[in-house]
Structure 1
Amino acid sequence: MLAELDLSSRIALEDIPEIDLYMDQVIQLFEKKYGSSTRNKEDKVLTKTMINNYAKGKLFFPVKNKKYSREQLILISLIYQLKGGLSIQDIKQTLEGINQRTESGQFELNKFYQSYLKLHEKNIEIFNEDVLKTEQDVKHEVKMLEADEPEELETILLIVSLINISNFYRKTAEKLVDQLAAKKVKKD
């Protein structure tokens, strides 16, 4: 099951062209890289509406001549990763400083993104080990129940446990977003 998740799907720096892309090209890039990781084949990774909403919400700095720069593609990739666990407002808060520094030329977004990609790889290893350990813990708990249909109970308990862990991570991330916002208020 872990292999089916295709967790290694990502947009590497070498996947992002040096030239600016039109919206349709951006969508094609994301579909090519993340299409296999969607839950259903008909699900879209990214749509024009999503990109327009991200732009209107100021999740990345403004587009010039209807073309998206390499930095904007990196930011859209980060937004894609963040949207699974954070609200649009939290994503905006998280990326606001990076957006400002990147747009003004004070920040090398490429290096930051490369660091993110390294952590992404490490996180896959940690996640795989954690899921396998949780699965063993679940099997042990269900065995103690001496219940009929243990496979169904194992699946349900594993789902509940994984969602529980996911909520812990999401709540921690939300607290970090709140800390970012508090630090920004102090600066202003």
Structure 2
Amino acid sequence: MEDIYKLMDELQLNNHLTLEEIPDLDLYMDQVIQLFERKYAGAKRNEKEKVLTKTMINNYAKGKLFFPITNKKYSRDHLLLISLIYQLKGALSIGDIKTMLDELNRKIVEEEFDLDAFYERYLHVTEKNVERVQDHIQENTREVREEIEKLDDQDDKYLEQVLDIASFVHMSNMYRRMAERLVDQMSAEDQEK
């Protein structure tokens, strides 16, 4: 069980770009990349992995995942949207993210929507999610160990790891599928309008 606690700490599950870390002044693309690289360096799976690249940002802009920039600079709202995209892209397709963020982008541009307040709510929800996930991981690991003990196999550590991985992937897939259904629902509602 100690290995699981160590892994959870290493994952930095509650590492998000906070409102205080986002400057009030507009940033050039290289500055945006530096901000994200510094913040999420510990979340990378390996040193070669990039958190954010110029190509990624350009693809987000071309895909209209966020409203157009002005004078090659990214506003605070752009940074908040890029932060959301960063978190979403691990589970959703770029098309799904676009569908999800279309109305939010419209609100920001047309209604002077307070994205800071929304993002703060997002951070609050993710904080609670981390607590739930940590509890669930501990419970799941205990249950997996109990199931493995029922086997008569000398390689129980390996089998325990396989069952842990399969269980975590299964949970991830269920959450991803639920998120995709909600995006599909959004898309259907947009088509009805």
Q: Which runs of 4+ in 1 moved over 6 A?
A: none
The whole-number CA distance in structure 2 between the counterparts of 1:93 and 1:20 is 26
Q: TM-score, normalised by structure 1?
A: 0.98
**In the alignment, structure 1 residue 138 sits paired with structure 2 residue 165:** no
The equivalent of 1:72 in structure 2 is 78
What is the deviation of 1:37?
Answer: 0.5
The equivalent of 1:58 in structure 2 is 64
The whole-number CA distance in structure 2 between the counterparts of 1:86 and 1:173 is 8
What is the deviation of 1:106?
Answer: 3.6
User: What is the identity, as a one-letter code, of the residue corresponding to 1:29?
Assistant: L
The equivalent of 1:34 in structure 2 is 40
The equivalent of 2:126 in structure 1 is 120
The equivalent of 2:88 in structure 1 is 82
What is the identity percentage for the equivalent residue pairs of Structure 1 and Structure 2? 52
User: What is the identity, as a one-letter code, of the residue corresponding to 1:46?
Assistant: L
Structure 2: gaps spanning 5 or more residues: 1-6
The whole-number CA distance in structure 2 between the counterparts of 1:156 and 1:47 is 33
What is the deviation of 1:103?
Answer: 1.3
Matching residue within 5, 24, 27 for 2:11: 5
The whole-number CA distance in structure 2 between the counterparts of 1:105 and 1:158 is 46
RMSD: 0.7
Q: TM-score, normalised by structure 2?
A: 0.95
What is the deviation of 1:120?
Answer: 1.0
Deviation per residue, 1:72-120 (Å, 9 max, x gap): 0000000000000000000000000000110123411111000000011
What is the deviation of 1:51?
Answer: 0.2
What is the deviation of 1:148?
Answer: 1.5
RCO comparison, higher one (Cα < 8 Å, 6+): 2
